[in-house]
Amino acid sequence: MAARGPGRLLLLLGLAAALCLPRAAQPPPGAFQAGLGAASLPAAAAARRRYLLYDVNPPEGFNLRRDVYIRVASLLKTLLKSEAWILVLPPWGRLYHWQSPDIHQVRIPWSEFFDLPSLNKNIPVIEYEQFLAESGGPFIEQVYVLQSYAEGWKEGTWEEKIDERPCIDQLMYSKDKHEYYRGWFWGYEETRGLNVSCLSVQGSASIIAPVLLKNTSARSVMLDRAENLLHDHYGGRDYWNTRRSMVFAEHLRVVGDEFRRKYLHSTDEADRTDYNEDWTLMKVKLGTAVGGPYLGVHLRRKDFIWGHREDVPSLHGAVKKIRSLMERHKFKRVFIATDAIVEETEELKKLLPEMVRFEPTWEELELYKDGGIAIIDQWICAHAR
């Protein structure tokens, strides 16, 4: 027979207290004690950590989301000076540029695109699925929707401030019959918010730290529209530590490296781009890297053309510039990363036979998804001379 330790006694007392509540007043299992799921009670009781979650405006793209992560990481570092917090990584999905049909592209964990051990060398992070397992249920205790000030910012001295205010825009959350808030929540339809309120904010990310430390006792707090927070110290040491920790997932880098070797005669040894898996130990002397013997081009089309018609060259104009650069640097190959439609791609091949592209098979596209293919493109472009 197992010994009746203090952990079991606490669990029984907790259950007894819950059973004494009127049925309508009972919270969802684990909702008010995130981290105290039955399976993880001993470890959670020792850690007592709090969970920080966030999301951004749905139309925002990959790079803005990556930039917001840096801002939120800075906030987490501020919180960690006072309490034990951990960042819950917002699952990926529904990005505008991810338009491949018949591919499931929601609820995508960060490990599909980034190396989690590298992220954890900078700040403590977990995937959303792990948060669900630890918290004992799909409930977020407090959701703060960040917004600007209704009166705007008037010219003059810049002032950082934050206040709880009435919501300016219509909330993207609605109450269900149990009085819980439903919302997008990264495609997790079962997730509910217990409380939702709006904060007008004007300032850097850490301005919200006092609110999280003093104004709420919620164990799980979500900051929606987190792009409204600015960088604490843009370009500073913490900024670059976080940026460097965002190492692309190894399985994507391996695909990119193999493509470089096979089609572009490019290897880390020949290009002097030796890589250390531990970003904290990677020291590179400026000017030592040579790069692969090819030109890397990011040729933006589609929505970029619509918004910059006067600034974007035609395909013929782009090819003319590419050829000029190839001749100047004596390159025989050019790698092109582009979102061009099929007709434009075919025209490019005719105008520029030297062009090389990473064209995934259906199986590769389904495995790596549009986001992974974009990262492979970036990795190959980044190694160009």
For the annotated catalytic residues, the residue numbers are 60
**What are residue 248's DSSP bridge partners?**
114
Alpha carbon distance 325, 332 (integer Å): 11
Q: Three-class SS of residue 378? A: helix
Alpha carbon distance 164, 142 (integer Å): 13
Alpha carbon distance 368, 366 (integer Å): 6
Alpha carbon distance 15, 289 (integer Å): 62
Residue type, 237: R
Contact 85, 79 (CB under 8 A): yes
Selection from 242, 254, 257, 245 nearest residue 117 by Cα: 245
Q: Which helix (H) or strand (E) holds 197?
A: strand 192-202
Strand order in the sheet with 334-338: 295-299, 334-338, 355-356
Q: How far apart are the first and last CA of the chain?
A: 68
